[in-house]
Amino acid sequence: MSLIAELAQQYIDGRWQPGSGSWDIVDLDPYTGEKLASFTVATAEEIDRAYRAAERAQPAWAATSPYERRLVFERALRVVEEREEEILGAMTAELGGTLLKSAFELSLVREMLREAGSLALRAEGKILPSPVPGKENRLYRLPVGVVGVISPFNAPVFLSLKAVAPALALGNAVVLKPHQDAPVTGGTLIAKVFEEAGLPAGLLNVVLTDIAEIGDAFIEHPVPKVISFTGSDSVGRHVATVAAGHLKRTVLELGGNSALVVLDDADLDYAVDAAVTSRYLHQGQICMAANRILVDRAVFAEFSEKFTAKAASLVVGDPGDPATQLGPLINSAQAEAITGEVERAIADGARPLLHGSTVGTLVRPTVLTDIPADAPILRREVFGPVALLIPFDGEDEAVRIANDTPFGLSGAVHTADVERGVRFAQRIDTGMMHVNDGTIADEAVVPFGGEKSSGTGRLNGDSSIEAFTTVKWISIQHGRSQFPF
């Protein structure tokens, strides 16, 4: 039995079990169309059981020494390392990611597990001064209790763990709902890793289901105090609205429309390499991908020629082949949507420098330029292998174009003058900017998150402590207080 077929079950209160819904979700290989597994969806009743199990298990876990909690993450890291080939195979099969992309994601997973282990020891309290004679103010940092995590399909092992691991390390329990296109790699695989690492039952529960079955039950349930969501801005707005109605805190990592900017003094060959990777890695299905590539008009012709040639040379095909650089999109609906997006942009006046074909879920690279300023594609997140090349005249125009989007996640600028690049980066309304690098970066200790419609809150490092803990003030009066009555 394959790892995916083995793990196509619900994981609730430490037990593997089928869902009790009336229908199944079929897990397909996006490249071959082969059925990998099917699972019966969880119902709202099972959502309740998962949250109640987490609620029961959490107090004892919070009382456990953080040094003991850290050991779980050390063991989880060893499990990942020992089963690396099996995990990589599951990622390639379920997600259609190339071997290069899967290995890159797994490297981020390892770093996140290491960082989570250290977070267990870093939730520090404080003693604060008081204007009242004899009063001592203690500020305790405590776990919030139970965290609900909703994760996406594009980098599901890492993006699930990005919330799950810190939340657990800080003494919380978690219920995880992975995307239905990544139920194993985004969900039950993680449960299996922690089960083998010795995490006590009930602390991590994984429910495989769909909103068509459970509605908003996952968000509305009274147990979770924080909802962490990674996905599209449209769904994120809904999550935020529902959670706010129940006075729940949210951490939202949403979409992007990042710009990679090439100034007139940039190393063009290096900038081309950075831009091609930033746009086409994992077929463009990355929230930090460079949707828009802005190039100073003085070097636009040379850059465009080199960029288009490199994009045309990318190897598209079987994600299991080490030579493949672009694999399939996650499903046929996404491939059709991207193809339609390109055709509409061309109909609106965009000029294709490279017009990639679509066969099934394989979408070859497209490069568009001369895009009308009011074209919708300029302001949307394009979750596929489509690059938009946009010339500009001077830095002020580049800043205006880069900021002309509802999103503000990542970005990059290329220049021979590093400090010029920093000054430019400071003018862009994003949560992250990179000088002389790509737009795709995530480091376990550096705050990750966006501005505008790209989300609220930050994760990684100390930001995860803020996200998944709360503070409690306990004062001690030494001696007698003076009361007015």
pTM (global) more than 0.85: yes
| Percent of the residues in the chain that have a pLDDT greater than 90, as a whole number | 99
Query: How large is the average pLDDT for residues 83-105?
Result: 95
Count the Cβ atoms, other than its own, within 10 Å of residue 304.
18
Is the per-residue pLDDT at 306 higher than 60?
yes
Q: Match 């099934």 to its residue by tokens.
A: 360
55 a catalytic residue: no
What's the CATH code, domain 3-254+454-473? Answer: 3.40.605.10
Residue 2 binned pLDDT confidence (cut-offs 50, 70, 90) = confident
Q: Residues 355-382: pLDDT tens digits?
A: 999 999 999 999 999 999 999 999 999 9
3-state secondary structure 305-354: HHHHHHHHHCCECCCCCCCCCECCCCCHHHHHHHHHHHHHHHHCCCEEEE
Q: Match 């299905």 to its residue by tokens.
A: 285
Domain 258-435 fold is: Aldehyde Dehydrogenase; Chain A, domain 2 (3.40.309)
In the chain, CATH 3.40.605.10 sits at: 3-254+454-473
Q: Residues 417-427: pLDDT tens digits?
A: 999 999 999 99
In the chain, CATH 3.40.309.10 sits at: 258-435
Q: Which of 55, 94, 253, 381 is catalytic?
A: 253
pLDDT for 1 equals 57
Q: Which of 213, 287, 341, 381 is catalytic?
A: 287
Q: Residues 325-359: pLDDT tens digits?
A: 999 999 999 999 999 999 999 999 999 999 999 99
pLDDT for 419 equals 98
Query: How large is the average pLDDT for residues 136-160?
Result: 97
Q: Residues 428-472: pLDDT tens digits?
A: 999 999 999 999 999 999 999 999 999 999 999 999 999 999 999
pLDDT for 482 equals 87
CA contacts within 13 A on the Cβ side of 121: 9
| Beta strands across the sheet bearing 258-262 | 351-354, 366-369, 386-392, 290-296, 258-262, 411-414, 434-435
6 a catalytic residue: no
- The answer for residues whose C-beta is within 8 angstroms of residue 153's C-beta and 6 or more apart is 95, 179, 181, 182, 186, 330
Q: Match 């996006």 to its residue by tokens.
A: 30
pLDDT for 295 equals 98
pLDDT for 23 equals 94
pLDDT for 109 equals 97
Mean of per-residue pLDDT scores for the chain:
96
